[in-house]
Amino acid sequence: MRRFVHETHAQRVVFASGAAREKLAEEIGLLGASRVMVLAGPSEAAVAARVTADLPVALKHDEVVMHVPVAVAERAREAARAHDVDALVSVGGGSTTGLAKAVALTTGLPVVAVPTTYAGSEATSVWGLTEGEVKTTGTDPRVLPRSVVYDAELMLSLPVDLSVASGLNALAHCVDAMWAPRTDPIDAALAAEGIRALAAGLPLVVDDPGGLPGREQALYGAYLAAVAFASAGSGLHHKICHVLGGRYNLPHAPTHAVVLPHVLALNGPAAPEAERRIAEAFGTTTALEGLEALRTRLDAPRALRDYGFREDQIPDAVVAVLPVVPESNPALVTPDNLQQLLRSAWEGATPR
């Protein structure tokens, strides 16, 4: 008999290509906010200024750092308190959304997210903070943005290589959701549709970076991926990448893009039903065949050594990852096969 419990997060989602400024003002109006803190890194300053032009902005905060160091989060929290803000608006990718979540975690302030990448953090109640070499993650309903404004036009300025890495990060949410600790049939359905949309949209982004159809498909797929991941929880792939990112300061999206096929190669044979659904979403005979064909088509990131991970760090990474491997992972994870997985990802070998 089929038995499962599925929890759907309460969140408004607004898809409106070309209308971020108008829709964001409407969302802030629904909150009744009168003193808004806008969080956006320097590279997103112009976009943030444009889409928040109609808001009652009390503070603009631009200290955005990858993996959200605790000290950075504390400074943002203090700024929010000092300016007596009553709502947070994040304009940017996962690091910006993560900073807004860190502020919401301790203040309870509502967040409205305006994503400019396919990171997906805006659709989850997952937060992450880094202190020293350790990245700690958790879930809390306070950090889930009250609403998200998706405007595919804001993605047009995202370079193709970053679009590919960010899109494959979203794809990793889908794959991990197939066998994560809390996965259920609804998560699997969302993840499969997310894979289909991303596999259709990302090649269009590469072929026509200035066109909206590919950007809209990828953004739709990234949202579905994040919703599936939020419900299913962190699987092996995300546990590995969180360790690599926090411990060795590796860039988030490229790390996910590199590691994903190696985790799929390990888990796929041990999870035949999930493997079948992933393959069907790609329209290929096997899941790994579909993923590798897409990665080749996109000229995706291949090797962790290209992003600062050193060969001599592999044994240390194995020791750090093993304690956080989910008990429900379909394949048995051992020191030996984990070391082989990380070595293959480091050198950019063909996943097997």
| 6 in any annotated domain | no
Q: Are residues 336 and 212 in the same domain?
A: yes
What pLDDT is stored for residue 134 in this prediction?
84
Q: Are both 177 and 286 inside the same structural domain?
A: yes
pLDDT digits (tens, 9 = 90+) for 155-201: 999 999 999 999 999 999 999 999 999 999 999 999 999 999 999 99
**From CA 48, how far away is CA 176, in angstroms rounded?**
32
Give percent of the chain above pLDDT 70.
100
Would residue 193 count as lying in a domain?
A: yes
**293 and 240 in one domain?**
yes
Amino acid found at 57: V
Quote the mean pLDDT of the chain: 96
Split into its structural domains, the chain has a count of 2
Residues 302 and 225 in one domain: yes
Question: What does pTM read for this prediction?
Answer: 0.92
Strand partners, 236: none
The set of residues, in sequence order, having a beta carbon less than 8 Å from that of 23 and lying 6+ positions away, is: 14, 16, 149, 151
Joined tokens for residue 186: 């609804």
* Domain around 70: 12-155
Indicate if 216 and 188 belong to the same structural domain: yes
In 3D space, the residue among 295, 271, 274 whose CA is nearest the CA of residue 192 turns out to be 274
Q: Do 165 and 128 fall within a single domain?
A: no
Q: Could you tell me if 73 and 205 lie in one domain?
A: no
Section 223-238 average pLDDT: 95
User: Are 118 and 172 part of one and the same domain?
Assistant: no
Question: What's the pLDDT score for residue 176?
Answer: 95
Identify the band that residue 2 occupies on the pLDDT scale cut at 50, 70 and 90: confident
Q: Do 22 and 40 fall into the same domain?
A: yes
Instruction: Establish if 7 belongs to a structural domain.
Output: no
pLDDT grade for 313, boundaries at 50, 70 and 90: very high
Boundary (domain end) residue, out of 128, 155, 182:
155
Nearest alpha-carbon partner for 94 in 255, 216, 203, 228: 255
**Are 175 and 303 in the same domain?**
yes
Contact assessment for residue 338 and residue 318, using Cβ atoms and an 8 Å cutoff: yes
Instruction: Determine, yes or no, domain membership for 102.
Output: yes
Helix (H, G, I), strand (E, B) or coil at 235: coil
Task: Read off the pLDDT band of 111 (50, 70, 90).
Answer: very high
Which of 129, 155, 181 is the last residue before a domain boundary?
155
Q: Are residues 127 and 220 in the same domain?
A: no
In this predicted model, what pLDDT tens digit does every residue of 38-78 receive, in sequence order?
999 999 999 999 999 999 999 999 999 999 999 999 999 99
Q: What is the mean pLDDT of residues 202-210?
A: 97
Domain stop point among 155, 171, 204: 155
**Order of strands across the sheet that contains 57-61:** 12-15, 147-150, 111-115, 87-92, 36-39, 57-61
Task: Give the model's confidence band at 333: pLDDT under 50 very low, under 70 low, under 90 confident, else very high.
Answer: very high
Note whether 52 and 38 are within 8 A (CB).
yes
Joined tokens for residue 301: 């990131």
CATH assignment at residue 296: 1.20.1090.10
> Does the pLDDT of residue 1 top 70, yes or no?
no
Domain match, 145 and 231 both: no
Give the whole-number percent of the chain exceeding pLDDT 90: 94
SS3 state of residue 111: strand
Confidence of residue 352 (pLDDT cuts 50, 70, 90): confident
